Amino acid sequence: MTIKLHIGGIEKKEDWKILNLSKLNIVDYIGDIGDLTMFDDGSCEAVYASHVLEHVPQAKVINTLKGINRILIPGGKFYISVPDLDILCKLFINPVISIQEKFHIMRIIYGGQIDSNDFHYFGWNLEFMAYFLKEAGFFKIERKDSLGLFNDTSECEIHGVKISLNLIASK
C-alpha cells in the first residue's frame, strides 16, 4: 500500500500523511526531509513539500532529492513549492517596496531565523530546480501557477505577485 506524504505539513488532510520535525498532534512521522530512510522504496504515490527544500544545506540537496525519488512509485509525483529567488530579487529592488516589505522579502530569502531550523541554505529558481531534479532522476517537470493542495505558503503574494515557484516533478 502506498501513501501520499506531506513533508513539513501542519494541515491534516484526508489521504495524506504528515512528516514534520515537530511533534504536533497531527503529525504521523517525526523526521527530516534529508533522511527518509523510514520509508521503503516505492512507498509513496505522491510527495508534497512547500517551502521546505530551501532549508536543505547545499551539499545535501542531491541526496535529499534522490531520497524523495527513491520513495516514490514509478510515475509518482513530487509537488514542490519554494520561494522563487528570481521573483524575490525583482521585488526587493522595486523602488515602490517599503522598508518593511524589503525586510520581509529578505527573511523569505534567508529564513526567518526564529529558531535553529528556520534558516534557508539555498536560493531556488526554475533553472536550479530543473537541473537538480533531473540530476536526482526526475524526468518530467511542470511549472504550475498553483498546486492547490494545501492552504500554505505556496500561494503567498507580495504586492500582488506570487513569490513561489510551484512545480510537479514526475518519477
Q: Are 93 and 132 contacting, i.e. CB atoms less than 8 angstroms apart?
A: no
pLDDT digits (tens, 9 = 90+) for 58-78: 999 999 999 999 999 999 999
CATH number of the CATH domain containing 25:
3.40.50.150
Q: What percent of the chain has pLDDT over 90?
A: 87
The pLDDT assigned to 22 comes to: 86
Domain extent at residue 34: 3-84+119-156+164-170
Classify residue 62: in a domain, yes or no: yes
Confidence of residue 3 (pLDDT cuts 50, 70, 90): very high
Domain membership of residue 129 (yes or no) is yes
Residue 16 in any domain: the answer is yes
Measured in degrees and rounded to the nearest 5, phi and psi for residue 150 equal: -135, 155
Residue 123 in any domain: the answer is: yes
Q: How many domains does the chain have?
A: 1
Containing 161, the helix (H) or strand (E) segment is: strand 161-162
Q: For 86-145, what is each residue's pLDDT tens digit?
A: 999 999 999 999 999 999 999 999 998 888 888 899 999 999 999 999 999 999 999 999
Measured N-to-C along each axis, helices 126-135 and 61-71 cross at an angle, to the nearest 10 degrees, of 60
Q: Is residue 105 part of a domain?
A: no
